[in-house]
Structure 1
């Protein structure tokens, strides 16, 4: 079952998907354009992976890392499905990053890769935009690149792990204004999900609703104001986002 959090009628509702529509917990069926989409879970600690697809590292003229390249993201960065992400007026290259987001389901420390999936509750989609103008280098993505307000759409659905037969064999695609620009597979991750859970939990405790954003394959291209960007992952859904200018900034 797919699960979401939405705003409707002045209230926040838990919701599910039924026949392409949004079903509220009170049984009402509404169109997805009638609700305000929130992140499907309320993220706690968020780990993001850099250069975790060899083909993406190669297109940036890097070698694949020898150990996970991990940085943290704050809760201010996340917005829901059909949200707006601001492109600053001074930048020349702002690109999407379609990523499988792994949701941790329970507390654990020193988790072995053999037991890693026991600590996963499910999955969602993240579009972790990056502004290359602000990038110091790919081994040191600074705060302005990855922690800007509302820079990371997430959702629309949380999908329980039992609905995903093999999370390491899912197709990822990104479309700009209806045209496909990126296509890859989670099978090409440098460090797979069990490895990442074992690695992270070896030095810190993982908790419920922690997120691991597992990186993006090759094919990241510039986006412009007005572009509709759709990031899609097999079995999870399509996450829609629009790039807007700074006049949409709400202080």
Structure 2
């Protein structure tokens, strides 16, 4: 299934995409795409619903982030061998973990907001893993039992804030509208191999990133298991698994976003996003 949340920010309703690409209203069956509603067993029950019997959502409503109730937005750094190379860094011996504030989360087509004082706002297409049930000390063998599905995310990053100011990466990753998630939460049964998905991103129609999750150093199973050794993972938590090469930081000379730019990105089977770039007021 391809699950969506639609409506104004803070008042989204759950929906599902039908065979013709239209949104059907799921709110008579689930309150929201959060908590126990995205447990893999609950999603299996939802799959039994006759989608064409659900109310059709008219028009083109705003899409919200495809999962609600996210407590942790966990990111993995330098997780693509080719991206590590363009960054001039070695592949890490263990996954590099950092957090992105949950307040950065927004809808897939909501604008990228360049924060005040920003000089180096950058883009990163990433595969997001959505956790569906409580996970603690899980094995790699069992890791997929805890996954609800996948989504596209743009791990927007302010590189000066991230790497040139004192402290850790979090403040360069957590500005408002730095975490577009969606358009859909695609249940894991629809993705045969999350380690073989084409990923792309363009700025003003020019291809910047053209990669594949096949070059991911630490795969989905490993990451879910690894993270669960250090912290409990809860339903709605998001793991953003790293980006392929082609970010602005890696260009010669580096290139960054400015107001008026248009960013588009997508992953095979998971849909696409489109964002206008605006300056914060």
TM score, norm. by length of structure 1:
0.90
Query: 2:217 and 2:235 mapped to 1: Cα distance?
Result: 25
Q: What's the RMSD between the two structures over aligned residues?
A: 1.9
Paired position in structure 1 for 2:7 = 7
Q: How many residue pairs were aligned?
A: 243
Q: Conserved in 2, the CA contact under 8 Å of 1:231 and 1:239?
A: yes
1:141 Cα deviation from its structure 2 partner: 4.2
Cα distance in 2 for residues equivalent to 1:224 and 1:185: 26
| Greater strand content | 1
The alpha-carbon deviation at position 145 of structure 1 amounts to: 0.5
Separation in 1, partners of 2:119, 2:88: 19
Gaps of 5+ in 1: none
CA shift digits 1:96-145 (9 cap, x unpaired): 1101000111112111111111111100111011111112369x643320
Question: Which whole-Å CA distance do the structure 2 matches of 1:72 and 1:60 have between them?
Answer: 20
Pairing 1:39–2:65 present: yes
CA contact (8 A) 1:121 1:161 kept: yes
Contact 1:102–1:214 (CA<8 Å) still a contact in 2? yes
- After the TM superposition, which residues 108-147 of structure 1 pair with which residues of structure 2 at under 5 Å, given as runs? 108-136=135-163, 141-147=168-174
Question: Is contact 2:136-2:233 (8 Å) kept?
Answer: yes
Deviation at 1:159, TM superposition (A): 0.3
Partner SS state of residue 74, structure 2: strand
**Structure 1 residue 44: Cα displacement:** 2.0
Q: 2:113 aligns with which of 86, 104, 108?
A: 86
DSSP-derived class of the 1:203 partner:
coil
Relative to the length of structure 2, the TM-score reads 0.81
CA distance in structure 2 between the aligned counterparts of 1:224 and 1:73, rounded to whole angstroms:
22
2:275 is matched with which residue: 230, 235, 241? 241
After TM superposition, give the deviation of residue 236 of structure 1 in Å.
0.5
CA distance in 2 between counterparts of 1:226 and 1:24 reads 34
The answer for unaligned runs of 5 or more in structure 2 is 27-53, 249-255
**What SS is found at the alignment partner of 1:113?**
coil
